[in-house]
Chains A and B, each alone.
Chain A
């Protein structure tokens, strides 16, 4: 509905950002001549307090009903000007921004051309505002419960922080226990704390907290809804063990005859039985049956675990269970894995058992690992005398073999490994082949220098070209010392590869379910790399840990807390305001064809039978109905609608035509 507007136009200099290429005075002059405009002025910085005061003053003095600001992109300051106008008593949706910076002054060099274009853009905005209607945002509810996807240190810390603030949190973890990568580590840098010793108290706290529910051996299956009001289906995979009855005694794993399954927790270096808990401190301390390798499930014979279980907890009939729950906020904390080394056979990883990744070394050095903490060669159990570490395997690699980014944690953990080995086995020679040493954190460089100066680790600047297994079982390492300008051919009995890390497999599926941005390296994208590092651009979704980018434990814990705070900020609200620029149907024009329903990416359109009074004819028709909370105002339905019944509030068809007319005048 059009009404007679009193429009004020405010043209910003933006310092010299706009004024250098656009004659702002002329723009204001020309704007003043447009239909409906009763006030036009220019100012240095419209977004400043003084600038906003000018708008407020003009509204009061000239009784303005619509505002046009010719300035930078609405992404910068649309909210600012809407708030200013609201404070002055006008509906905030009576503001239009003409982008004469990013769309005009920043892309032109010729002032005459720039000015002409700015004037046209201003005219279009004025034509649009003439037809603006005061819109009212809707309200949507906030379910005061958060979902954390991933039960590693990032997920655990985020959940603890949210729970401590008084909100309910669910953790969904796909492996049988929470703990994540940190539970596989032996010692952590730079303090050399035992990893399990600092992690398990947090794990216990999370499991005991009254606000936290933990779903392990579970995965998120479906997510619908939107910020404040998500509906999530969680699949609890069948453990084949009744969690309420199991006492965690462990007899079933002991007696299980199917013992030769590669242990995922030990990175395939050791075995586990078919019914197993991944590690001793697992939470929950309830085993899981790996049905693919269980004799009972494969052949129907066995059933030993059920026989020996005193609590009668083994349940071969158990089925997967789907739980549907509502959440206000979702935090992604899906973590990472090392890359596959299939394309790096120059290091002989697949040809020799004595070439291992750093994560595998953690398991070897850990007292609960496959060698009970003894540093030994995996091929023959002998003690190594010469260990070579190779850095940057698959990192900083811009070919399609590896990852282009630096994995961040490897320089520190290799210094840690080297130091620990030299400390425990002083007659073992340790050599590290590196490109750069990146140890920027607090006390990190000092840590690395201790490895070199106090523990005698030999750092060689230069890479390794080839690791060749020799007939006698040793490894010939061919590298280069770039400072001495010599090729080094040295015999090693163990080679450790600092392998690149990448986000955990399956993160793309999660990102699709959450409609969260994800980059080419499968890291979830943050809303702004500097200022909004823990929020996804998708409202209501937050990021915690390595799923957002490579980082070590201190940074993960810090970020986990930040994500928790953002989630708490959302959960603390009782209602959220929804975007009022949503689609509406003219029920007299709608012919029920479903074209709009099929094209809506947010599932915001449904059809209902409604009684319609069409110029005296009363009948029930099938009409499109838009859910204002789900609608994001993309406009796809308005374009698709063959009858023109669908229109977008704030961007109506009439308004767009008016803008085009103004431009073409």
Chain B
């Protein structure tokens, strides 16, 4: 099964692990991520203004590229997923944006939101199935107490993201069980890490993530996993204080599938 793949800029630079382990795991699980030929940065944040069109175009190009191949579009970074999925909804449901974006793009066939946008975790849950995933695990992470950190962008606004229950999600906990570990549920796993505020005001982000870390550690988590490079960065600002490490979920997936060493070697 082939999926069009949108990595995003950070996955090619500071968050290589997220990307590399994802590809290796995909191979082990029998699906292929075909990186889109000419993708551009999604912008990191979804443009909220009603009149903003230009900042959405890079997403439209990616979506259209997937459509032309007749494939679903898979993303890994929470922020890219959020932006592209919401732009896709605009192209499907908001006439004004659909018209103006298409006018600007001058595609042969106008794009009207036909592509389905999937997060890698949704591929695991809905296309592969966590049961199948479990069967393919060679190195179950037995006894490891793992907390899931969702952050904001995968879950909200829930009407548009339709990813999971925004207040009590379970997809990453199910993933953790599938890879043989024990999920630790804690109430702040869907609280914001601070996002872009850490550029100018690192202290604020540190305070916010301290609350998240304390809560996770308090409920017994030994480590946290996340899907967003910015969340990982913000959470790591606190690492010294609470002491629990933060990984990308794909790294643990690769470890459980037994492909991590190969990646490290290459």
Contact = CB atoms under 8 A, between A and B. Distances in A.
B167 interface: yes
Which 6 pairs from chain A and chain B are nearest by CB? A345-B167, A345-B168, A468-B187, A471-B218, A346-B167, A471-B219
Interface of A: 342, 344-346, 348, 350-351, 466, 468-471, 476
Contact of B185 (A342, A344, A346, A351): A351
A345 B165 contact: yes
A344 B218 CA distance: 24
Nearest to B166: A345
9 contacts: A342-B165, A345-B166, A351-B185, A466-B187, A468-B215, A469-B187, A471-B218, A471-B220, A476-B187
Contact of A350 (B168, B187, B218): B168
A344 B167 contact: yes
A468 B216 CA distance: 12
A399 to B, nearest CB: 8
Interface string B171-185: 000000000000001
Nearest to B185: A351
Contact of A348 (B165, B166, B187, B219): B187
Contacts of A344: 167
Interface of B: 165-168, 185, 187-188, 215, 218-220
A344 B167 CA distance: 7
Nearest to A467: B187
A491 to B, nearest CB: 13
Contacts of B168: 345, 350-351
A469 B187 CA distance: 6
Contacts of B166: 345
Contacts of A471: 215, 218-220
Contacts of B187: 348, 351, 466, 468-469, 476
A471 B166 CA distance: 21
A122 B166 CA distance: 62
Contact of A470 (B167, B185, B218, B220): B218
Contacts of A351: 168, 185, 187
B185 A468 contact: no
Contacts of A468: 187-188, 215
Contacts of A345: 165-168
Contacts of A469: 187
A388 to B, nearest CB: 15
A248 B69 CA distance: 73
Nearest to A351: B168
A559 to B, nearest CB: 37
A134 to B, nearest CB: 59
Contacts of B185: 351
A350 B167 CA distance: 11
A277 to B, nearest CB: 36
B168, B185, B219 — most chain A CB neighbours (10 Å): B168
Nearest to B168: A345
A351 B219 CA distance: 13
Contacts of B218: 470-471
B155 to A, nearest CB: 11
A159 B187 CA distance: 50
B192 to A, nearest CB: 12
A471 B220 CA distance: 9
B35 to A, nearest CB: 36
Contacts of B188: 468
A342 to B, nearest CB: 8
A350 to B, nearest CB: 6
Given A345-B165, A470-B215, 13 more contacts: A345-B166, A345-B167, A345-B168, A346-B167, A348-B187, A351-B168, A351-B185, A466-B187, A468-B188, A471-B218, A471-B219, A471-B220, A476-B187
